[in-house]
Amino acid sequence: MTEPCDTRFCSLFARSQGEQPIGNAPQTQQFLVVEVPTPWPRNFLEAPTLPQGLGVLLRRAYEVKIDFVLVGVVPDEEYSQPGLTRVMWFRRPAAVFARFERREWQLPTPRVAALCEALLFGGGLDDFELYRSSFSGRDLLVCTHGTVDVCCANFGYPVYRELRERYGGPELRLWHCTHFGGHRFAPTLLDLPTGHYWGFIGSDDLDNLVFRNRPVFAGKLRGWSGLDCFWQMADGYLLEREGWGWLDCPRESCVIRVEGGEGVMGLEWGAYTPIQHPDPPERAWVQHTCHPPDGGKGVYEVLIERAGVLQTVGQSGGEARTVNQYRVREVREASNYSKHSAFALQRSTGDDSL
C-alpha cells in the first residue's frame, strides 16, 4: 500500500522528490518594488498599509495586462526614511542586456500612486526628479510572505535574517519581501538588478551568493527573468559551466525547434507551460548568444530534452500533481551560426547519435 504524501511543507516535498527549480522564473519586462510595512494579507493589494490609491492603480495595470512583477519590501531602519516611501523600478532595456535598468525614488507616501502610474502607464516622470535616489548597487530580496505559504515564513525569514546580520554595505542592500512565486522552492530569493531568481537557498550558500567566490551552485537557480522557460534552462547550464562572469555578458536566446507535444517552430511557450503542460515538448533546440563586455560574440546550440515526470505540490498542504522535468543533454559552440546549422539539421532528421 502506498504511503500518503506529506505535503504540509511544499518546499520540503519538492526537495524530497528531486524537483529542479530551473525554468521556473517568471519572465518580465519590469519589476516594481515598493516599501510597504507589514502586515501583509494573502492578497498584497489588500494590505492596509499600501499607499493610498496604489491598490486601485495596480489592479488597473493588471486588467490591461501591463507586464510587470510587483514586490513589496519591508522598510528598513538603515535604508528607509520616516515619512518617505522608496519605489524601485527595474526595466528591461531595448537592446540585448545583462541587467535591468534601475531607477529609484524616495518620496512622500501620498505621491507614490502617482509615481507608479507614471512608471506603468507612461509620462510625468519629470515631476518626481526631486526625489530621485542615487543608489546603483545590488538588492537581494528574500520572500517571507507567510500568509501566502507557510514555507516562505518558516524557511525564508531565517535566511533573510542571516543575510541582514552578516552582509550588506554601501553597494548591497538586503530586504524581506512579498510573494513573487515559486514558494515550493523556498527559501527563494530575487537578485536585482540582474533579475535572477534563486531557490532552496541555505546558510551554506550565502557567501557564494553574495561574493560569487566559488563555483556556481547547481540546483539552486530558478532562472533569469530576462528569458523564457527553455531559454532559462540553457542560460542556467551555461552560467554553471562558464562561471559567475557569465552574468556580465549581455545575452539573447531563441528556440530553433521544438519536438513533441504541441511544439512547432515559432510557438511561444509561457514561462511555466512546458513544465506543467499535460502534452509537453520532448525536446527543444535553443540558440543562445552572449556578447562579452570585451567584445566578440559567443554562440551556443543547446539541446534540452524531457527527463521524465515527478510529483510536486504548488501550495503547502495541497494535493500532489505531476510536473515535467527537463535537462540539458548537449551544448555545442557554433562560431558561424545559422538557423539551419548542421546541429539543427542533424537533430531535425532524428539522428540521436550525437
The mean pLDDT value for 77-98 works out to 96
| Residues 119, 116: Cα–Cα separation, whole Å | 5
User: 17-211 is classed in which CATH architecture?
Assistant: 3-Layer(aba) Sandwich (3.40)
Q: CATH 3.40.30.10 in the chain: give the residue spans.
A: 17-211
C-alpha to C-alpha distances, 94 to 30, 101, 249, 269, nearest whole angstrom: 12, 10, 16, 21
Instruction: Give the DSSP letter string of 185-245.
Output: G-S-EEEETTTEEE-S--GGGHHHHHH--SPPPTT-EEEETTS-HHHHHHHHHHHHHH-GG
Asked if 320 contacts 5 with a C-beta cutoff of 8 angstroms, the reply is yes
Judged by average pLDDT, the poorest of 151-165, 233-247, 268-282, 335-349 is: 335-349
Give the tens place of pLDDT for each residue, 109-131: 999 999 999 999 998 899 999 99
Contact 38, 238 (CB under 8 A): no
Confidence of residue 5 (pLDDT cuts 50, 70, 90): low
Segment 269-297 mean pLDDT: 80
Cα separation of 127 and 201, whole Å?
40
Contact present, 49 and 73 (Cβ < 8 Å):
no
Instruction: State the Cα–Cα distance between residues 21 and 35, nearest whole angstrom.
Output: 28
Average pLDDT, stretch 254-276?
A: 65
Condensed to tens digits (0 to 9), the pLDDT of residues 25-58 reads 999 999 999 999 999 999 999 999 999 999 999 9
pTM over 0.85: yes
How confident is the model at residue 322, as a pLDDT? 92
pLDDT tier, 270 (very low <50, low <70, confident <90, very high otherwise): very low
The predicted pLDDT at position 274 comes to 79
Rounded mean pLDDT, 199-220: 95
pLDDT recorded at residue 148: 96
Phi first, then psi: what are they for 48, rounded to 5°?
Answer: -70, -15
Average pLDDT of the residues in 279-306: 91
Taking the CB of residue 21, how many other CB atoms lie within 10 A of it? 22
Q: Which residues contact 4 (CB under 8 A, 6 or more apart)?
A: none
Q: Do residues 140 and 37 lie in contact, with contact meaning Cβ atoms separated by under 8 Å?
A: no
Q: Sorting pLDDT into bands at 50, 70 and 90, what band is 294?
A: confident
Give the pLDDT of residue 345: 30
Q: Which residue has the higher pLDDT, 206 or 339?
A: 206
Span 300-350, pLDDT tens digits: 999 999 999 999 998 999 998 999 999 999 999 985 434 433 333 333 333
| 199-208, 257-266, 329-338: range with lowest mean pLDDT | 257-266
